[in-house]
Amino acid sequence: MPFENENTILKLRSENNEDKFHKSYEAALRDVEKLLGKEYPNIAGDEIKENSKLSDISPIDGREIAKFQNGSRESLDKALRMLSRSYKAWYERGYLERARIFLRAADLLSERKYEFSAILAWENGKNRYEAMGDVDEAIDFMRYYALSLIENQGFIRFTGKAYPNEESMSVMKPYGVFAVIAPFNFFSITVGMTSGPLIVGNSVLLKPSSDIPLASYLFVRLMHDAGVPKENLAFFSGSGSNIGDTLVTDDRVKGVVFTGSRSVGLGIFHKANSKSPKIVVTEMGGKDAIIVTSQANMQKAIEGVFRSSFGYSGQKCSACSVVYVHKDVYESFMEGLIKRTQKEEPMDPREKNAFVTPVINKEAFQKYKDLIQKIKEQGNVVTGAKVKEGSGYYCYPTIVTDLKDDSFLLKEELFLPILAVKKVDSLEEAVRRVNESDYGLTGGIFTESSEEISYYFNNVEVGVIYANRSVGGSTGAMVGSQPFVGWKMSGVSGKGTGSFYYLQQFLREQSQTIVH
The one catalytic residue among 6, 130, 303, 317 = 317
Residue 314 · residue 321 · CB < 8 Å: yes
Residue 504 has pLDDT above 80, yes or no: yes
Please tell me whether residue 69 adopts helix, strand or coil conformation.
Answer: strand
Helices (H), 32-172: 73-91, 95-111, 113-124, 128-151
Give CA–CA dist 474/480, Å, rounded: 17
User: Can you give the pLDDT at residue 315?
Assistant: 97
Q: Which helix (H) or strand (E) holds 173?
A: strand 166-174
Query: Could you name the CATH architecture of 288-478?
Result: 3-Layer(aba) Sandwich (3.40)
Give CA–CA dist 33/465, Å, rounded: 39
pLDDT class for 317, splitting at 50, 70, 90? very high
Is 50 a residue of the active site? no
User: Can you give the pLDDT at residue 304?
Assistant: 98
State percent of the chain over pLDDT 90.
96
Residue 1 has pLDDT above 80, yes or no: no
Is 283 a residue of the active site? yes
User: Can you give the pLDDT at residue 242?
Assistant: 84
DSSP 393-428: --B--EEEES--TT-GGGTS---SSEEEEEEES-HH
Please tell me whether residue 67 adopts helix, strand or coil conformation.
Answer: strand
User: Can you give the pLDDT at residue 245?
Assistant: 87
Q: Which residues pair with 420 in a beta bridge?
A: 322, 400
Residue 387 has pLDDT above 80, yes or no: yes
The radius of gyration computed from the CA coordinates of the chain, to the nearest angstrom, equals 23
User: Can you give the pLDDT at residue 244?
Assistant: 86
Residue 44 has pLDDT above 90, yes or no: yes
The one catalytic residue among 6, 283, 303, 452 = 283
Q: Distance of CA 314 to CAs 281, 287, 323, 413, Å?
A: 24, 11, 14, 10
The residue-averaged pLDDT of 43-49 equals 97
Please tell me whether residue 68 adopts helix, strand or coil conformation.
Answer: strand
Please tell me whether residue 282 adopts helix, strand or coil conformation.
Answer: strand
Q: For 256-272, what is each residue's pLDDT tens digit?
A: 999 999 999 999 999 99
User: Can you give the pLDDT at residue 494?
Assistant: 86
Burial of residue 153 (CB within 10 Å: 0-12, 13-18, 19+) is: exposed
Q: What's 463-499 look like in SS3?
A: CEEEECCCCCCCCCCCCCCCCECCEECCECCCCCECC
User: Can you give the pLDDT at residue 400?
Assistant: 98
What CATH number does the domain located at 8-284+493-515 have? 3.40.605.10
Give CA–CA dist 403/422, Å, rounded: 7
Strands 288-292 and 320-326: parallel
Residue 442 · residue 475 · CB < 8 Å: yes
Q: Which helix (H) or strand (E) holds 204?
A: strand 203-207
The residue-averaged pLDDT of 144-170 equals 96
The residue-averaged pLDDT of 77-99 equals 97
C-alpha 372 chain-centroid distance? 27
Domain extent listing, the chain? 8-284+493-515, 288-478
Q: For 339-385, what is each residue's pLDDT tens digit?
A: 999 999 999 999 999 999 999 999 999 999 999 989 999 999 999 99
pLDDT class for 2, splitting at 50, 70, 90? confident
Spatial strand order of the sheet with 507-515 comes to 156-160, 166-174, 507-515
Q: For 487-499, what is each residue's pLDDT tens digit?
A: 999 998 889 999 9
State percent of the chain over pLDDT 70.
100
The angle, 0 to 180 degrees and rounded to 10, between the axes of the packed helices 330-342 and 298-310 is 50
Residue 441 · residue 487 · CB < 8 Å: yes
In sequence order, the 6+-apart residues with CB closer than 8 A to the CB of 211 are: 56, 57, 123, 124, 184, 360, 361
User: Can you give the pLDDT at residue 341?
Assistant: 98
C-alpha 222 chain-centroid distance? 20
Give CA–CA dist 231/233, Å, rounded: 6
Q: Which residues pair with 444 in a beta bridge?
A: 290, 466
Q: Which helix (H) or strand (E) holds 175?
A: none
Residue 118 · residue 32 · CB < 8 Å: yes
Mean predicted lDDT score pLDDT of the chain: 96
Q: For 126-156, what is each residue's pLDDT tens digit?
A: 999 999 999 999 999 999 999 999 999 999 9
Q: 217: closest CA among 206, 201, 202?
A: 206
Q: For 182-226, what is each residue's pLDDT tens digit?
A: 999 999 999 999 999 999 999 999 999 999 999 999 999 999 999
